[in-house]
Amino acid sequence: MTTISASERAAREPARSRCARRMHRLAIPLLISGGLCLGASSVAGPAQARQADAKVVDSTRHGGRSVAFTFDDGPNPTDTPHLLEVLRKRHVEAVFCLWGDHVKEHPELVRAIVAAGHTLCNHTMHHDDMGAWSPEDIRADLERTSAEIHRAAPGVRIPYFRAPNGSWGQTPQVATELGMQPLGWRLAVGDWEPPGTDELVRRVEEGITPGAVILMHDGGGDRSQTVEAVDRLIPSLRAQGWHFTSPARRG
């Protein structure tokens, strides 16, 4: 057995201490990052599900003279960027209900929506009518749509789900189990026709009610009239005492 002198032990000890301190410093970030991952996982799973219920919401969080703008069927490379610029200029945050096929085609627009501070909503993969679908088929579609959204914008929250054409069937319960609040509307302005910018402005100003969620579109066709209407509506509604907010998170 080799005998180590006291002087050699004294010389080696600082090296051991330095090594231990180095390992300690490396371990702390790993532990912290592991804890953060666990925390994020729990928020995205059961905790988020507890924040939703199966009742379809059509009102804002606080009611009163508040309104929530929501836009379906995007992203659309022609009109979504213009809408984002209008909302940025007017300092309004909205909900974008994303069509999975369009997300797959234009992931950069999903990132632009998120970067601008807007909220996302799962609007199914192919915009199918799910009124008669089984829970298993609904779940597969919603999970695939959310996966496409997360592929475009990793880690982003998707707090809402909206059924295409308002054909809910068994989708509310499935969406709730996935942590998404079913999101309806109180006023649909019919911009899919499209009827003209003046008519869209009139429909909103005459049809708005306190706490309303309003359904419009930034995808699925030419939505330039909708973008122009939104640009006119925001200052007009503000002048009438309305303020812009988010939909409720529970029914």
Residues catalogued as catalytic: 72, 217
139, burial (CB in 10 Å: exposed 0-12, middle 13-18, buried 19+): middle
Residue 234 in tokens: 């925001």
3-state helix, strand, coil in the chain (%, to 5): 50, 15, 35
DSSP calls for 106-144: -HHHHHHHHHTTPEEEE--SS----TT--HHHHHHHHHH
Taking the alpha carbons at both ends of the chain, their separation in whole angstroms is 76
CA distance 124 to 143: 9
Which residue reads 């009163």 in tokens?
Answer: 64
- Scanning the structure block, which residue is given the tokens 């006291």? 6
Give residue 86's Cα distance to chain centre. 19
Element (H, E) at 217: strand 212-217
